[in-house]
């Protein structure tokens, strides 16, 4: 009886050992995890800051591969920079300008030739900026007030200056033209 128990024990132990060995082999063989975009896993702090910088040979290979895909395609209407302010950039440029001077856009009234934005400062003071479209090189004229009585003229000037800076930065970027136009 004792021999029978020891044989059963040996069989169970052997079967368990094989399963453990198989499991460890599978885990340890470098089964790669799926791409992060296909899972709900979040990146760690270290993974978020990782950047891949291509050297000149990698850059040349990427350009060669992209050109090979494009083949004989001819660009019909390449995007161009206007170099000047575009009226269509006003809402997004003001959003960026407000972020720089620590303000937020609360409400927007958009008309074809005018924008009125209700603003709030970081310390909960009201503000307003009105932009009117003009038909000359300036493209727009703007008036801004900040504070309950419009008494923070310095912040209003900073906001107007930052808006103008952002509009010029947007004007330096290429504006894409819709193909179906």
- Read off the pLDDT of residues 36-69 as tens digits, 9 standing for 90 and up: 667 777 778 787 777 778 888 988 988 888 888 8
Cα separation of 120 and 178, whole Å?
Answer: 35
pTM, two decimals, is 0.54
- Average pLDDT for 141-169: 94
CA 138 to chain centre: 30
Q: What is the dihedral of CA 104, 110, 116, 117, to 10 degrees?
A: -10
> 102: which 2 tokens?
């620590």
Q: Confidence band (pLDDT; 50, 70, 90) for 28?
A: low
pLDDT at residue number 142: 95
How far is Cα 79 from Cα 61, in angstroms, rounded to an integer? Answer: 25
Q: How far is CA 107 from CA 116, 127, 129, 147, in A?
A: 8, 11, 11, 16
Mean pLDDT of the chain: 80
C-alpha 78/C-alpha 93 separation (Å) is: 23
Task: Give the pLDDT confidence of 92-131 residue by residue, as tens digits.
Answer: 999 999 999 999 999 999 998 999 999 999 999 999 999 9
- Buried b / exposed e across 123-132, counting CB within 10 Å, b at 16+? eeeebbbebe
Q: Which of 3-12, 81-90, 100-109 has the highest average model confidence (pLDDT)?
A: 100-109
Here the tokens at position 16 are 């368990």
Confidence band of 17 (pLDDT split at 50, 70, 90): low
The pLDDT, as a whole number, for residue 141 is 94
The answer to whether 126 and 147 are in contact (CB under 8 A) is yes
């Amino acid at each position: 009886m004792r021999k029978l128990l020891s044989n059963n024990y040996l069989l169970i132990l052997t079967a368990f050992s094989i399963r453990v060995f198989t499991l460890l082999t599978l885990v340890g063989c470098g089964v790669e995890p799926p791409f992060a975009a296909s899972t709900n896993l979040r990146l760690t702090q270290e993974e978020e800051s990782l950047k891949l910088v291509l050297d000149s040979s990698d850059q040349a290979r990427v350009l060669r591969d992209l050109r090979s895909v494009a083949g004989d395609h001819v660009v019909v209407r390449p995007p161009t920079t206007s170099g000047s302010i575009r009226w269509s950039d006003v809402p997004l440029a003001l959003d960026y300008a407000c972020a720089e001077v620590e303000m937020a856009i609360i409400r927007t009234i958009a008309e074809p030739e005018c924008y009125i934005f209700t603003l709030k400062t970081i310390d909960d003071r009201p503000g307003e900026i009105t932009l009117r479209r003009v038909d000359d090189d300036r493209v727009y004229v703007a008036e801004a007030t900040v504070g309950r009585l419009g008494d923070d003229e310095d912040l209003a000037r900073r906001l107007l200056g930052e808006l103008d800076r952002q509009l010029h930065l947007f004007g330096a970027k290429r504006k894409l033209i819709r193909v179906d136009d």
